[in-house]
A and B are shown apart, each in its own frame.
Chain A
Amino acid sequence: MTSISNSKLPAPVLINGETLEKWPQNLFIPPDALEVFLETFQGPLDLLLYLIRKQNLDILDIPVALIIRQYMEYVELMRKFRLDLAAEYLVMAAMLAEIKSRMLLPQLYPEEDSEEDDPRAVLVRRLQVYERFRQAAQDIDSQPRLERELYLVSVGFQDPEPVKVESRASLNDLVVAFRNVIERSRLNRKFSIDREGLTMREKMAYILHKIHNTSRFVRFEEFFNLEQGRTGLVVSFMAILELMRDDMLVVVQNESFGSIYVKRNEQ
């Protein structure tokens, strides 16, 4: 792509009574600056405000051909990076072109020269509104705020001995813990063609036996024999659920995602 910013004008051009021999230099942002450009401008309105500011560009007399050629360079580049952005700038370029073309056409009813009929009115209004909010964003940014100017005086509530609440494990907690067991069994896979009869009764008896002689808690994972494969694990899990339902077990979990412990119900 040849940059039009450095080329000479084919012929001297008279603009507002002044002769122009070269394209105005700083109307153009070099393609290399595209990334800076994308970072810097918040969109076509922002770019237009910038051009007006930088060029002393009269919004009421936009050199639309120039701007559109520049826009199209960006759009071409942007298509490679951000298609969504290209679309927004393309809409703006189309809008500028429309304004210019409507201004070039003779007015059919010149007496109806109200502001509403001026093709520039819509764009000007949008620029005005955008400018207000751009300023508001800066105002909010300069407002004193937490983490920058203000720090909370807060010692926080420090309980010297937090009371450990023995909270009951929910079904969901059990399922999560069981999934971990299954996960572990995958690392310990064993293939066997022997069919072992695994009954839930057997498992329930095994679990009750394991906790019978102690009033202490036993870790949930200890009830599972990884050697027994997936079926064995599922049967063990069902046995625990069955015993819980019969109120034979107390199952606790003291913190979220912490270990689950089981003991016999002494009541």
Chain B
Amino acid sequence: MNSEAINSELKNIIESLLIVSETPLSVSVIQSVFDKEATPGPDEVESTIRELQRDYESRSIEVKKTGNGYRLQTRVQYAQWIRKLYASRPPKFSRAQLETLAVIAYRQPVTRGDIEEIRGVSVSTEIMQRLLEREWIRQAGVRDVPGRPELFVTTPQFLAYFNLESLGDLPPLMEQREFAEVAEDLAKDSGLSAPVEALSDLQTSDASNG
């Protein structure tokens, strides 16, 4: 076999692994399926995956890297049809859950106290429990202060779920602004979220009743 043929065979092997696997595959896991003397180098595996990604460019699926593994997934724009096929509603997460997750993701490692300081409310055990059950966060040691509070960090499963390659891939935190500027901007901003709008409706109806 010439080198081109070998390469296309390697591409097919990797593709078949990605199709079958239920979890993202790291380069070293991909390497582990080959006989010792036939094992491709890490660079070769990665360049072959890039080639596979080019092959898929015009297709409905893509090879995505999350954490340190590769997986095969459908593209964002086909979600609406897929969901209809199963008549499924995607799970929603509460603001409390998302805010807690955001603090952990951007400020890790953090204690519950850190999260409470930023959010200005106590963190319920239930919220932490849900994040832990989803395996988006895990405990990573304790902070060396009185009380030795637990420290929390995010996991590769968190990256995988939110389609992120690494933490550096998180949407950037907004710049911290002067407050006068914040207030001005907030006042101009009419894009109130739906529940808040509903609330102001309630106020109006209350006023008219009175």
Do the beta carbons of B207 and A5 come within 8 Å of each other? yes
1/0 per residue, CB under 8 A from A, across B153-188: the answer is: 000000011111000001101101101101100110
A36 at the interface (CB under 8 A from B): yes
Q: What is the interface of chain B mostly: helix, strand, loop, or mixed?
A: helix
1/0 per residue, CB under 8 A from A, across B182-210: the answer is: 11001101001001101110111011001
Of all chain A residues, which has the CB nearest B73?
A150
Q: List, in ascending order, chain B residues with CB within 8 A of A154's CB.
A: 19-22, 71-72
Q: List, in ascending order, chain A residues with CB within 8 A of B20's CB.
A: 154-157
Do the beta carbons of B19 and A128 come within 8 Å of each other? no
- Name the one of A130, A143, A146 contacting B171, with C-beta atoms under 8 angstroms: A143
Do the beta carbons of A40 and B195 come within 8 Å of each other? yes
Do the beta carbons of B200 and A26 come within 8 Å of each other? yes
Q: List, in ascending order, chain A residues with CB within 8 A of B176's CB.
A: 128-129, 132
Among the stretches B3-11, B47-55, B98-106, B142-150, the one at the interface with A is B98-106
1/0 per residue, CB under 8 A from A, across B76-100: the answer is: 1001001000000011010110110
Q: Number of B interface residues, CB 8 Å?
A: 61
B120 at the interface (CB under 8 A from A): yes
Q: A36-B199, A85-B121 are in contact. Are A146 and B98 (CB under 8 A)?
A: no
- Name the one of B160, B173, B196, B203 contacting A132, with C-beta atoms under 8 angstroms: B173
> Shortest Cβ distance from B161 into chain A, in angstroms?
5
A152 at the interface (CB under 8 A from B): yes
Number of A-B contacts defined by CB within 8 Å:
184
B122 at the interface (CB under 8 A from A): yes
> Shortest Cβ distance from A213 into chain B, in angstroms?
47
1/0 per residue, CB under 8 A from B, across A74-109: the answer is: 000000000011001000100000000000000000
- Name the one of A26, A30, A88, A137 contacting B99, with C-beta atoms under 8 angstroms: A137
CA A57 to CA B195, docked complex, whole Å? 20
Do the beta carbons of B95 and A42 come within 8 Å of each other? yes
Q: A45-B119, A127-B179 are in contact. Are A6 and B73 (CB under 8 A)?
A: no
Do the beta carbons of B74 and A151 come within 8 Å of each other? yes
B61 at the interface (CB under 8 A from A): yes
Do the beta carbons of B202 and A33 come within 8 Å of each other? yes
B118 at the interface (CB under 8 A from A): yes
Question: What residues of chain B have their CB less than 8 Å away from a CB belonging to chain A?
Answer: 18-22, 61, 64, 71-74, 76, 79, 82, 90-91, 93, 95-96, 98-99, 101-103, 105-106, 118-122, 160-164, 170-171, 173-174, 176-177, 179-180, 182-183, 186-187, 189, 192, 195-196, 198-200, 202-204, 206-207, 210
Q: Please name 16 pairs of A and B residues whose Cβ atoms are closer than 8 Å in the assembled complex, sorted by A.
A: A42-B96, A42-B99, A43-B121, A60-B180, A85-B121, A131-B182, A134-B99, A137-B98, A137-B101, A139-B102, A139-B170, A139-B171, A151-B79, A153-B72, A154-B21, A155-B20
Q: Which 3 A-B pairs have the closest CB atoms?
A: A43-B121, A148-B90, A30-B206
For the A-B complex with A132-B174, A137-B98, A150-B76 known, give 15 more contacts whose Cβ atoms are closer than 8 Å.
A6-B210, A28-B203, A36-B198, A57-B183, A128-B177, A131-B174, A133-B103, A140-B170, A140-B171, A146-B160, A148-B90, A151-B73, A153-B18, A153-B72, A157-B21
